[in-house]
Each structure stands twice: as structure tokens, then as C-alpha cells.
Amino acid sequence: MKFRHLPFLFAITAGLASTAAQAATTGTLRFVGQVNAGTCNLAAGDVNRTITLPTIKISDLASTVYAGAHDFNITADCESDIRNVIFLFTGTASNGNGALFSNTGTSQGIGLWLADRTGTGHSTIPANGSVPQRSRTIATSSSKAILPLTAAYYKTGSAITQGTLASAVTVSITYN
């Protein structure tokens, strides 16, 4: 009795198998993506930062070319695959000395001197220099590139008057 149903079961199984084969379709899955290098940004505290130099007297510049030196750092925060950061400085050169950044404040006879402190002394970053002269390359350490700088009042050659120093220097970074 059990064998009488066997042909019927084969027919149903064959019908189901052919239905599955007829319903099958093929398709291609395409995968896309992108791999980017890491990035760096100036540290939040260094974006639009105001650096206040100490107050000096005209007599402080009587026997020297600069006074009121102020040390500070600027920092780039980077992702771990960044090895070097290049800091590039731009600004308007002083009329009296093209290596200085111009003073738009009320004092006459002074400009802003900007220098890095990466070596054994100070290395001037000239306002009117070539790109290599106005840039500094700093290796990253712990995902940061820290550039030590000094800024000071500097004699331009004309008579110094009392007043304010105001100077704008733009820093931009590139990295690899």
C-alpha cells in the first residue's frame, strides 16, 4: 500500500523542483567604496587666535632691534596616518622691512617679527619670503604637530612712536 503512493510523491517532488528552477534569477552585486587619507586641522584654540605681546616702552628698542618677545605654539591635530604637517604663513610685509609683517596699529616705526623655535635659535619667517622661507614642516607625534614660535615688536628703521601694534598673519596647513 505504501508503494502505490510512491509515483504520486515523485510527481509532486518533480513539480516542486521544476517550479524552483523556473523562479530562479541571477544578478550581480556591485560594491563601491572609497579610501581617504587622514586629515589634519588646526587645533580649535589656534583658529582665529589673538596673541597678546607684552607691553613695551619705546626705550626698550633704543639699543636693540626687537623687544617684547613672546613664545607660543600652534598645533595641528591629525589622524594617525599623517606623518608631516607643513605650516605656511602669509601676510602683508612691513614697508620698512619686508621680512616683518606690517603693523596696522597706531604705533609708527615697528613691525611684527615672527620666528620659529624649532632649531637651536630663532629662524625668521619673512612676510615677503618665498614659500619655502615662509613654511615650516613638522613631523607628527601622537597625532599632533606642534610648531613653537616667537613673536616680537621689531624696529623698521623709522622713528618709533607710542601706540598699538596690530598685525594679521594667516597660517594654513597641508599634510602628508
Q: pLDDT value at position 121?
A: 86
pLDDT in tens, 122-147: 999 999 999 999 999 999 999 999 99
Return the HEC string of 98-133: CCCECCCCCCCCEEEEEEECCCCCCEECCCCCCHHH
Domain 40-175 CATH (choose: 3.10.20.600, 3.20.20.70, 2.60.40.1090, 3.30.300.30): 2.60.40.1090
For the chain, the structural domain boundaries read: 40-175
For residue 60, what pLDDT is reported? 97
Mean pLDDT of 65-88: 97
Q: pTM for this one?
A: 0.80
- Give the residue, 67 or 7, on which the prediction is more confident: 67
Phi-psi category of 48—alpha, beta or left, where left has phi over 0 and alpha has psi -120 to 50? left
Kindly tell me if the per-residue pLDDT of 158 is higher than 80: yes
pLDDT on residue 51: 97
Residues 135, 90: Cα–Cα separation, whole Å: 9
Q: Are 59 and 146 in contact (CB under 8 A)?
A: no
Cα gap 68→53, rounded to integer Å = 6
Structure-block grid coordinates of residue 26:
541571477
